[in-house]
Amino acid sequence: MQSKLPHVGTTIFTVMSALAAEHKAINLSQGFPDFPVSDTLKELVKAALDADQVQYAPMAGRVDLRQQIAALVSARHGIAVDSDLEITITAGATQAIFTAIATLINPGDEVILFDPAYDCYDPAVILFGGKPVHLALRFPSYQIDWEQLEQQITAKTRLIVVNNPNNPAGSVWSEHDLKEFERILAKHKNLYVISDEVYERIQFSGQHQSVLKSELLRSRSFVMYSFGKTLHVTGWKIGYCIAPAALTAEFRKVHQFNVFCVNNTMQHAIAAYLERFNDLDTIAGMYQAKRDLFTGALKTSRFKIMPCEGTYFCLLDYSQITGESDVDFARRLTIEHGVASIPVSVFYQQRTDHKVLRFCFAKTDETLITATEKLCKI
């Protein structure tokens, strides 16, 4: 059979996690927390099961959950989002992104992506006959070069995908970035946006500059979120997409034949959690303490710590240690030194190697301390 994705193999996340398991290394490669989920949330899952909340949810997601999300958005950004017409619950942000790309992209459409880029954007564009156009974020700040973006927009450009806070870079947008994006979109009326904001709650200074804050950007955007990140339950794969009513209507046409609806029991539990607790603002502080523990312990190491303003990933520049490629060094670090990471070149279409590795610090303090002790010995 002819492959529709001939360049896609086993992902580096699978490769590095397998290598970490084989060599009993500390796995800071894949982005998931290794600490337990809150007991309250577990109790609410049990309560949802006891209440027999186990049949299909409504296609767009449970009404109570969508109403809770609308309340969160209103409290955070001071805007009204219609929970009936503008919010759809999805199987994680991944399905939301795939569905939005399926909704928008026709053969020959160009889609602008910024490298280093999260890995699910490019293959989805290709599957629907689109042409990914990869632009590099500026190095080492990992910020968008807005002038370059403007130059790369053509009559065929249909979609721009942005990710703020950025995985893997840990960079975040300023108000200036939002204004620049707004200025460019105002000039190009046929352009749409996917704004991947799954780490919106994990930003360490300043306000999260969501595209929802701009009337103009919001009118053209599918904005993606993930409860996996916010409630430390990546395995539940519950996320959501916020988009204007007309875009949501088209999005749901695809969504209903893609999954129809997603896990009712977990939606019930999350809705109940959000109704009872107002603690999502504490997440950033919890992760900031972990970032500071990780980076503080590495001050005496030979790694150069790159700025991390958001997400639960930290980049380390190892150019003072070795000239090896980042893929080779990540392998050796796992096998010989017992710490697994992700080489950042895999997030670039051109495999650009800046001698930087990505480490996930969503781990217990104990795990982080043991890992930094190993890294300091190199």
Shortest CB 30 distance to ligand PLP, Å: 8
Q: How many helices (H) and strands (E) does the chain have?
A: 14, 13
Nearest distance in Å: CB 197, ligand PLP: 9
Is the CB of 130 or the CB of 310 nearer to ligand PLP? 310
Q: Per-residue DSSP letters for 253-271?
A: HHHHHHTSS--HHHHHHHH
- Residues of this chain, 303-362, that bind ligand PLP according to CB under 6 A: none
- Name which of 100 and 301 has its Cβ closer to ligand PLP: 100
Contact code string over 120-159 relative to ligand PLP, x by CB under 6 A: ----------------------------------------
Nearer to ligand PLP, 118 or 301 (CB): 118
Binding mask 50-89 for ligand PLP (x = CB under 6 A): ----------------------------------------
* Candidate segments 134-142, 175-183, 231-239, 245-253, binder of ligand PLP by CB under 6 A: 231-239
In the region spanning residues 191 to 210, those forming contacts with ligand PLP, defined by CB under 6 A, are: 196, 198
Give the nearest distance from C-beta 31 to ligand PLP in angstroms. Answer: 5
Phi, psi of 346 (to 5 degrees): -70, -15
Residue 163 or 301: which CB sits closer to ligand PLP? 163
Instruction: By CB under 6 A, tell whether 163 contacts ligand PLP.
Output: yes
Tell me the C-alpha distance between 375 and 378, whole Å: 6
Minimum CB–partner distance for residue 92 and ligand PLP (Å)? 3
- Residue nearest ligand PLP, Cβ-based: 92
Binding mask 86-105 for ligand PLP (x = CB under 6 A): ------xxx-----------
Give the nearest distance from C-beta 321 to ligand PLP in angstroms.
27
Of 371, 347, 354, 370, nearest in space to 113 by CA: 347
Between CA 327 and CA 333 the distance in angstroms is 10
Quote the crossing angle between the two packed helices 365-376 and 283-297, to the nearest 10°: 20
At residue 254, what are phi and psi to the nearest 5 degrees? -80, -45
With beta carbons less than 8 A apart as the criterion, state whether 101 and 118 touch. Answer: no
Is position 170 an interface residue for ligand PLP (rule: CB under 6 A)? no
Instruction: Tell me the CA distances in angstroms from 117 to 106, 132, 170, 199, 318, one per residue in order.
Output: 22, 12, 12, 14, 21
* 31 in contact with ligand PLP (CB under 6 A): yes
Q: Which of 167, 171, 195, 264 binds ligand PLP (CB under 6 A)?
A: 167
DSSP string, 193-252: EEEE-TTTT-B-SS----GGGSHHHHTTEEEEEEHHHHTT-GGG--EEEE--HHHHHHHH
DSSP secondary structure of 66-124? HHHHHHHHHHHHS----TTTSEEEESHHHHHHHHHHHHH--TT-EEEEEES--TTHHHH
Which residues sit at the interface with ligand PLP, rule CB under 6 A? 31, 92-94, 118, 163, 167, 196, 198, 226, 228, 234, 237, 239
